[in-house]
């Protein structure tokens, strides 16, 4: 979610915020923070303004002030559409959340949908869909899938890679704008909104119809799990979706030796191979293939990831 898109409702405050942004873009973050404080004197309940102020303060080295501004954001916006709670954790003022706020993730991708494919493929060298599809082809043991469920399908990049090998593909995503882009590609037999951070009964993937269980022979989650944090829930969802011997193929950002689940400055979560191995063991999945690779660039630097192909043992 880009807080610069949200008006304060006060013309003078918005004008000062625009000048503050211009100062920040030229590297004058302390001056930008001073100007944002002037704007917030006019509109003290402007959550987006406090979030912008925190960014300028953090960048200019005013950590304590940034923390106070972020606390204000959380107080004004308890649903935390800006991810202020994640930032507080990174600044050492709060415990690491088990998962990001759903509203933050939804709005992030709603705003990103129109430029998602171009930005990822052309600027960030995003390659997870192709690499995951290739890993499935080599280690999946199936030439064709009867039914694929693409969790966090986004605009359909993985669906496009697997469609020639699938009789039917369902796609689920939290962002309605992403789902609209996926629909334009005419890849999926069904698209629906779902929140994978919720319990299986509430996540939107299942219905009261018993046929909703164990309907897939492949479940994918390409570049999705870094927006979920703790992953027990998604493994429960995958095991409930899959037939016995069905595949669960997914990617994570590699946490390396930093811990099992690590919140990065990007506000994405990284996961260790050991953590994934333990989840597979506890949820009845055998690991068939593991591939370490660069999955995208972030700030011009490569982001290391791990791809997995696992099989549901029932």
Residue 163, domain CATH: 3.40.50.150
Q: What is the rounded CA–CA span in Å between residue 35 and residue 124?
A: 33
- Same domain? For 284 and 254 the reply is yes
pLDDT value at residue 1: 46
Per-residue pLDDT 10s for the chain (314 aa) are: 456 557 888 899 999 999 999 999 999 999 999 999 999 999 999 999 999 999 999 999 999 999 999 999 999 999 999 999 999 999 999 999 999 999 999 999 888 777 776 766 667 778 899 999 999 999 877 779 999 999 999 999 999 999 999 999 999 999 999 999 999 999 999 999 999 999 998 999 997 665 678 999 999 999 999 999 999 999 999 999 999 999 999 999 999 999 999 999 999 999 999 999 999 999 999 999 999 999 988 888 899 999 999 999 98
Q: For residue 101, is it within any domain?
A: no
pLDDT value at residue 56: 97
254 phi and psi angles, rounded to 5 deg: -85, 115
- Same domain? For 268 and 220 the reply is yes
Q: For residue 100, is it within any domain?
A: no
Nearest CA to 112 out of 175, 51, 18 is that of 175
Nearest CA to 287 out of 261, 250, 234 is that of 250
Domain of residue 19, CATH code: 1.25.40.10
Q: For residue 198, is it within any domain?
A: yes
- Same domain? For 13 and 136 the reply is no
- Same domain? For 89 and 212 the reply is no
- Same domain? For 91 and 175 the reply is no
DSSP 4-30: GGS--S-HHHHHHHHHHHHHHHTT-HH
Q: Give the residue numbers spanning the domain of 165.
A: 107-312
Number of domains in the chain: 2
- Please check whether residue 270 is in contact with residue 242, taking contact to mean a CB–CB distance below 8 angstroms: no
pLDDT value at residue 35: 95
Q: For residue 155, is it within any domain?
A: yes
**Which of 67, 95, 123 delimits the end of a domain?**
95
Burial environment of residue 292 by CB neighbours within 10 A (0 to 12, 13 to 18, 19 or more): exposed
- Same domain? For 132 and 275 the reply is yes
- Same domain? For 224 and 268 the reply is yes
- Same domain? For 297 and 171 the reply is yes
Q: What is the rounded CA–CA span in Å between residue 166 and residue 87?
A: 40
Q: For residue 200, is it within any domain?
A: yes
**Which of 95, 126, 151 delimits the end of a domain?**
95
**Which of 64, 95, 126 delimits the end of a domain?**
95
Nearest CA to 182 out of 165, 196, 198, 194 is that of 194
């Amino acid at each position: 979610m880009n807080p610069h898109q949200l008006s304060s409702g006060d013309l003078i405050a918005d004008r000062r915020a625009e000048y503050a942004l211009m100062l920040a873009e030229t590297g004058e973050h302390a001056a930008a923070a001073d100007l944002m404080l002037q704007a917030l004197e006019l509109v003290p309940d402007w959550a987006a303004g406090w979030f912008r102020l925190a960014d300028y303060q953090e960048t200019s080295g005013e950590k304590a002030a940034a923390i106070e501004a972020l606390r204000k954001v959380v107080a004004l916006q308890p649903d935390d559409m800006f991810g202020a709670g994640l930032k507080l954790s990174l600044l050492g003022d709060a415990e690491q959340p088990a998962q990001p706020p759903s509203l933050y993730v939804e709005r992030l991708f709603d705003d990103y949908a129109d430029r998602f494919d171009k930005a990822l493929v052309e600027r960030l060298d995003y390659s997870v869909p192709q690499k995951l599809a290739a890993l499935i082809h080599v280690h999946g043991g199936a030439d064709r899938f009867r039914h694929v469920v693409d969790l966090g399908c986004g605009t359909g990049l993985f669906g496009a890679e697997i469609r020639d090998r699938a009789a039917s593909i369902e796609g689920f995503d939290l962002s309605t704008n992403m789902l609209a882009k996926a629909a334009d590609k005419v890849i999926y037999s069904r698209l629906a909104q779902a929140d994978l951070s919720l319990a299986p009964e509430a996540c939107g993937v299942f219905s009261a119809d018993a046929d909703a269980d164990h309907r897939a022979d492949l479940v994918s989650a390409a570049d999705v799990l870094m927006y979920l944090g703790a992953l027990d829930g998604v493994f429960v969802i995958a095991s409930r979706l899959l037939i016995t011997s069905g595949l669960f193929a997914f990617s994570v950002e590699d946490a390396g030796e930093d811990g099992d689940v690590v919140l990065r400055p990007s506000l994405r979560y990284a996961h260790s191979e050991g953590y994934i191995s333990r989840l597979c063991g506890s949820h009845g999945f055998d690991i068939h293939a593991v591939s370490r690779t660069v999955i995208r660039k972030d700030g011009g630097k490569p982001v290391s990831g791990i791809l997995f192909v696992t099989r549901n043992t029932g």
